[in-house]
Structure 1
Amino acid sequence: MITPKAERHVSTSRVIAAPAQEIFEVLADPAKHSIIDGSGSLVEAKGNPPRLFLGAKFGMKMSFHATMRNKVVEFEDGKQIGWRHIGQHVWRYELEPVEGGTKVTETFDWRPSPLPWLLQRQDIPTKNLASMEKTLERLDTYVTTGNVPES
């Protein structure tokens, strides 16, 4: 049974003891994405602007020997950034100031995907959720200590 379109998204959140803008600067820098990636699939940024903006296009060399081209489709400086690639699903980060820091929510939104049955059959949403939890942990470590987290 295919998941109803309205339910085709998974999210996870973490409070990070840092200002939202500081966290956003990491998310808006494609060169830092492989540092915080919890999936192990991002290798390095390829031919990108130094800071993302609405409509920016950027590439990521992947561990499976391909380069994914992405486009920023959501952007509110210091608050929200989201991008998508050829699969049309959106990777979104939302930042909300809270007591003690910033609540960061990462979402894998697969509602726009033209192949939802394939993502579901391969259990991609569940796998991505586990990777997103690791990503937020790595983002926390990087932002609060300045250290590159160990893989």
Structure 2
Amino acid sequence: MTTSDTHVTVSRIIDAPAKDIFALLTLPAKHPYFDGSGSVRSSEDTERITKSGEKFVMNMHREDQGGDYRIHNHVTAFDENKMVGWQPANDDAPDAPKGWEWLYELRAQDASTTEVVLTYSWDKVTDKKLLEKVGFPLITEAELEQSLNLLAAAVSEA
């Protein structure tokens, strides 16, 4: 685990092949099952993520963000069975990500075991008012660890 002024990274060994974990991560409809923050409610998209540049919309809820809202996630990283990441944008500017990113890296240890590294980064946020308003990190290290625990449980049930 590492925490800095611009990111939080956690990792966990999961007893599953990288391809099975990647299959869950690239299906937005499954994201509520492994969201350790409890913010993700549902996906408006049913299609699997297949490449960088795609976008998927999630229905969210956080009291500290005013309740229900939607996020437009722009896929920024995609490497089959190895990496997937996205940057969120708000409903008011769905084509303009604000600069924070979620990145999952999958490191196969053997045919049935994978190290999953999850990084929540806000190093690309340039809006000083947004930085002050949000108070990064909005998601805690414990919530990120819970995301990996839930991911491990979800892949074992798949």
| TM norm structure 2 | 0.80
Equivalent in 95, 101, 106 of residue 95 of structure 1: 106
- Matching residue's letter, 2:124: P
Aligned to 2:75: 72
Matches within 5 A, 1:50-65: 50-63=48-61, 64-65=67-68
Q: What is the CA–CA distance in structure 2 between the aligned matches of 1:35 and 1:45, rounded to whole Å? A: 11
State percent identity of aligned pairs: 33
Q: What is the CA–CA distance in structure 2 between the aligned matches of 1:120 and 1:135, rounded to whole Å? A: 25
Q: Cα RMSD (Å) of the superposition?
A: 2.2
Aligned to 1:3: none
Q: What is the CA–CA distance in structure 2 between the aligned matches of 1:123 and 1:107, rounded to whole Å? A: 17
Correspondence 1:82 to 2:94: no
**Would you say the 8 A contact 2:37–2:147 is kept in 1?**
yes
Q: What is the CA–CA distance in structure 2 between the aligned matches of 1:51 and 1:127, rounded to whole Å? A: 23
- Once the two structures are superposed, residues 51-110 of structure 1 have per-residue CA deviations (whole angstroms, 9 ceiling, x without a partner) of 342111000001131110011011101000110012221100000011561000000111
Return structure 1 stretches of 4+ with deviation > 3 angstroms: 115-124
Aligned to 2:10: 12
Higher strand proportion (structure 1 or 2)? 2
Q: What is the CA–CA distance in structure 2 between the aligned matches of 1:134 and 1:65, rounded to whole Å? A: 22
- Matching residue's letter, 1:62: M
In structure 1, runs of 5+ residues without a counterpart are 1-5, 147-151
Aligned to 1:25: 23
- Matching residue's letter, 1:90: E
Aligned to 1:149: none
In structure 2, runs of 5+ residues without a counterpart are 62-66, 90-97
